[in-house]
A and B are shown apart, each in its own frame.
Chain A
């Protein structure tokens, strides 16, 4: 099987996943027990208000009709309307999504920059290096990210005053200011991630370095550095990238908490506020946006893994 076939097949597999997701997101509003419109508007709403909102949401149509209309809207970039501000949600999300994307991508990059080299070093290191990284990993994974964030604020914002405790300016308005606001959220989100990536890299590297092909490389006169960097890391890469893809989902979840903590206007914070305001269409659109992002990242990761390990596209066991 060639690479093009693999890419096409993997793309085709994404479609049913996206479809199931739309179905799930669509159902959120319909699974709410009782009358969602009443819940949304509260008990003081007049019957007219309720009827208007019901019509606005299309809830007076049969269920299948509502779904088809909604899905049709999605395909045209129409995500629905904010019940409170009456603004189109596509506009709202186009402002919020870049913030979440910046936060998660920067965090992942930071985690990779820390985790991969340390993991590789730990794999070739002595017993002390291993115990040290074991400790770092346990610490990074045990500490809840939002608590770490609070502690970072306590230290760097409240006590030292080096960085702002919360807030945001768009990168396009003030790049330096944007990055200043991003330092603490990114560090918060990246800490546990770096621990995971470190552990994964170390494990994958240890497996590779234990292979017979390493003796073969020694017999060819290859230097230890090239054995570790050229062959070890290269062989560990598909495993590490796979885990990075899975962990990106965790990061998107963490972003919900971190955005709330640091007052970043991302999709995560939007979802949380909207749940509290019972602004269900916004919750729907936000969940759909983040979930779609995750599906696309998973797709990208699978393609990268196939490119890194030629056995994947050929369907050969590893």
Chain B
């Protein structure tokens, strides 16, 4: 394990976050003991198949889950402990210090409000400014996210804008109060490929200009490759690997990460076949006791019946990452495992 070495405090830190939903089959453990740090000014990709709990994780961090969800663990935004706040206090934080961008802008935005008012609304919800000031600021934000002739577009309803422009509005509203953290949940999934790249470049530029830390949730490793500094891989509610983007793509340590990479066209070795991960995602109302990937893992052994910890140097030294596996696929991680045990 790395020791504290004077690194800056994380913008957002999750500690042993757990989310359980009631269901007819018994409680479903959607997020199971995730600890993760988002550093100021970085873009951290949170990757996994749909259903792995990554959106639940994001909603839990924002305190947006319904009352039926049982959440434990800690969510720290800077110095604040969010899980300790009541709804009213959380409301002051949401949209101000931490903002969120959802997958589909056409279902996020209010169809009968003008797009500009929806940006201004976020400002006025948190800042004591006049209607006019809010409007001026909203127009500026719309310009910043690359909406042409923003003054005219201000009074347009969402349906007059293209999908990409709508997502820019959502991003403008998210940035309205200059949040320290932006959580983007599949922000490009509903968009065309060319528009996707534009939105990703926009996020990258904003991070650079404003120093906003971005947690980018996606199922698409192509998106990760384009903008992320680091990657966290999630499987069945657990974090299986955290490393820099280069490491993950060059030397994936977890067999699941490796399988995921092989399932993406153009990322595996030249000439290799597009692989499908055999087996099924486990039933989270009665997950495997040990490593949740073990039933599908080609390298599984008896050891995998015990849950492997997420071990390694996931923060300080960028030469190594962290992995939760008894049989990691790379020597660097294997050495970590030895030193750790």
Chain A residues near B (Cβ < 8 Å): 211-213, 215-223, 226, 230-231, 234-235, 237-238, 308-311, 314, 316, 318
Contacts and interface: CB of A to CB of B under 8 A. Distances in A.
Contacts of A311: 111-112, 157, 159
Chain B interface: which size bin? 20 to 34
Nearest to B173: A220
Nearest to A232: B110
B95 A221 contact: yes
Interface in B66-100: 91-96, 99-100
B296 interface: no
A212 B111 contact: no
Interface in B196-220: none
Interface string B135-162: 0000000000000000000000101100
A73 B160 CA distance: 47
A208 B100 CA distance: 21
Contacts of B93: 221
Given A212-B104, A310-B157, A311-B157, A221 B92 contact: yes
Contact of A215 (B64, B91, B122): B64
Contacts of B91: 218, 221-223
10 contacts: A212-B107, A215-B102, A216-B102, A219-B94, A221-B91, A221-B92, A222-B121, A222-B122, A311-B157, A316-B159
B240 to A, nearest CB: 27
B160 A219 contact: no
B231 interface: no
A147 B311 CA distance: 79
A311 B106 CA distance: 13
B329 interface: no
10 closest residue pairs by CB, A with B: A221-B95, A220-B95, A310-B157, A216-B108, A219-B100, A221-B94, A212-B107, A220-B122, A316-B159, A221-B91
Instruction: Determine which residue in B62, B64, B93, B108 has the highest number of CB atoms from chain A within 10 A of its CB, and name it.
Output: B108
Instruction: Determine which residue in A308, A310, A316 has the highest number of CB atoms from chain B within 10 A of its CB, and name it.
Output: A310
Given A218-B64, A219-B62, A314-B160, 12 more contacts: A213-B109, A213-B110, A215-B64, A215-B102, A220-B173, A220-B174, A221-B96, A221-B122, A222-B121, A234-B113, A238-B112, A310-B159
Contacts of B173: 220
Nearest to B177: A221
B179 to A, nearest CB: 10
The binding surface of chain A is classed by DSSP as: helix
Contacts of A309: 111-112
Interface string B300-326: 000000000000000000000000000
A212 B100 CA distance: 13
Interface string B153-181: 00001011000000000100110000000
B250 interface: no
A231 B104 CA distance: 18
A234 B94 CA distance: 23
Contact of B108 (A213, A308, A316): A213
Nearest to B105: A216
B262 to A, nearest CB: 34
Interface string B111-126: 1110000000110011
A238 B93 CA distance: 33
Nearest to A216: B108
A219 B95 contact: yes
A40 to B, nearest CB: 54
A223 B88 CA distance: 8
B172 to A, nearest CB: 12
B112 A218 contact: no
B104 A218 contact: no
Contacts of A316: 159
Contacts of B107: 211-213
Contact of A235 (B94, B111, B121, B170): B111
A43 B96 CA distance: 86
A5 to B, nearest CB: 15
A308 B102 contact: no
Contacts of B121: 220, 222, 226, 230
Instruction: Determine which residue in A221, A238, A316 has the highest number of CB atoms from chain B within 10 A of its CB, and name it.
Output: A221
Contacts of B174: 220
Nearest to B62: A219
A318 B121 CA distance: 23
A220 to B, nearest CB: 4
A211 to B, nearest CB: 7
A164 to B, nearest CB: 45
Instruction: Determine which residue in A217, A219, A316 has the highest number of CB atoms from chain B within 10 A of its CB, and name it.
Output: A219
A219 to B, nearest CB: 4
Given A212-B102, A314-B159, A219 B110 contact: no
A222 B99 contact: no
A257 to B, nearest CB: 37
A191 B99 CA distance: 46
B112 A223 contact: no
Nearest to B100: A219
Nearest to A308: B112
Contacts of A238: 112
A231 B62 contact: no
Given A212-B107, A310-B159, A311-B157, A218 B102 contact: no
Nearest to A312: B112
A143 to B, nearest CB: 35
B64 A222 contact: no
A129 B158 CA distance: 34
B107 to A, nearest CB: 4
A235 B112 CA distance: 6
Contacts of B99: 219-220
